[in-house]
Amino acid sequence: MRLSSFQGLLLTLAAIGGVFLLVGMPPIQAGFIVLGLALLALPAWFSAPVVRVVGGALLAAVLYLFLRLPLPPALAIVLAAAVGFAAWCYVPPRILRRVCVLVPSMVLLVYVTSLLMYSAPGSPFAQEKAASDQVIAAKRAAWGVPESPTEFFKIYMTRVLEDFDFGPSLTVQGRSVMDLLGPAFPVSMSLGLTALVLACAIGLTLGIRAGLRPNSFADYSSMGLAVIGISLPNFVIGALLLMVFALSLGWLPVAGWGTYSHLLLPALTLALPYAAYIARLSRAGTIEVMQQDFIRTARAKGLSEREIVFKHALKGAILPVVSFLGPAAAGIMTGSFVVETLFGIPGMGHWFVKGAINRDYSVVLGTAIIYFSIVIAFNLLVDMAYAWLDPRVREDL
């Protein structure tokens, strides 16, 4: 039996919907998810001109939502339209196709997260002292958390789209999600970025050093370190670092946040597993590049070893690393849940875990949206960097 591609799509979606219905999901929710997945898949059928139009329009719409708050509406519309038009003209279709997928996937993420939060046992209003039904109903109405997840999704999306408001926290009295995450965002970002930079610096140094002289002492020692980094969970590394540097030697503070010395241990803890992975990738990349003909040519024309490595080999050696940076950024973000807990850092990971345990729906959704946006933005950047480094990819960008 051969299927046409469109029949294949319908079959896939129907199968997924069927599975959802089988496990007892209400038809509305299953329908919503299948619809979301369909929207996610649809851009695969768009031809390049359609992608340009839809992508440009979506980009303009998203931009308008952001610009509308600080600017007068007319100016916001004009600016957003201008950017959308520019995107239509100049941005490569591959990137615009990404945009077409991203907008529905963000909406789908919010919906699926609300569903998962709602289906978890317990509720944000469960307290030690049982409140009467009327009190709970009044609270649900006041905070915009009705009984049905689909209703909640509607209220939440309207609030976000109309006022860019992520709602009140359901468990921290009198604070909005913005109040909680606003100060936490720069904390997590500086931790994550420091960790990423450290991971690249350590990983590339070890990997290239090992790759230039395979099977030497430098190689074995670097790769031995890398295996340790990959094999140990980062909170074990963190705890050991704490024992040595904070407790025994007393050089660095045990926990807390505020100065650079507070940043060092957690960032190192977070970075080491990724440094190890980057070291392996760049070792393999270096070995491969050094066997290429153009390196032989460079040697033949009498370049120094240093010039060969830095001018010619490096670019090839870091290609596999660059494509790993997207997943690494996502991993560092999630790793920060653990590291922030271990070192007592007031970041977003802390709020996510707390929100999930306390069933604080709006805090969880807020962190989800922020994490997802960061990962997406980073993946886009990585894609562009990859195209810049590797001309073979640039062609079809």
Residues that bind other proteins (CB under 8 A): 1, 3, 5-6, 8-9, 11-13, 16, 37, 40-41, 44-45, 101, 105, 108-109, 113, 116-117, 119-121, 214, 227-228, 230-233, 235-236, 239-240, 242-243, 247, 284, 287, 327, 330-331, 333-335, 337-338, 341-342, 352-353, 356-357, 359, 364, 368, 371-372, 375-376, 379
CA distances (Å), 130 to each of 125, 173, 216, 237, 358, in order? 9, 18, 68, 43, 16
Nearer of residues 120 and 135 to other proteins, judged by Cβ: 120
Nearer of residues 10 and 86 to other proteins, judged by Cβ: 10
- Give the containing element (helix H, strand E) for 305: helix 305-307
> Contact at 8 Å (CB) between 2 and 16?
no
Residue 127 Cβ, how far from other proteins at the closest point, in Å? 16
Residue among 164, 32, 160 nearest 108 (CA) = 32
Nearer of residues 67 and 325 to other proteins, judged by Cβ: 325
Residue 290 Cβ, how far from other proteins at the closest point, in Å? 12
Buried b or exposed e, range 58-79, using 16+ CB within 10 angstroms: bbbebbbeebbeeeeeeebeee
Residue 105 Cβ, how far from other proteins at the closest point, in Å? 5
Residue 59 Cβ, how far from other proteins at the closest point, in Å? 18
Residue among 315, 338, 331, 346 nearest 180 (CA) = 346
Residue 209 Cβ, how far from other proteins at the closest point, in Å? 16
Nearer of residues 61 and 247 to other proteins, judged by Cβ: 247
Fill in the amino acid letter for 10: L
Residue keyed to tokens 């070893």: 305
| The two three-digit tokens of residue 101, written as one number | 């997928």
> Contact at 8 Å (CB) between 223 and 239?
no
Nearer of residues 3 and 61 to other proteins, judged by Cβ: 3
SS (H, E, C) 250-272: CCCCCCCCCCHHHHHHHHHHHHH
Nearer of residues 199 and 333 to other proteins, judged by Cβ: 333
Residue 247 Cβ, how far from other proteins at the closest point, in Å? 5
Nearer of residues 169 and 286 to other proteins, judged by Cβ: 286
Residue 393 Cβ, how far from other proteins at the closest point, in Å? 17
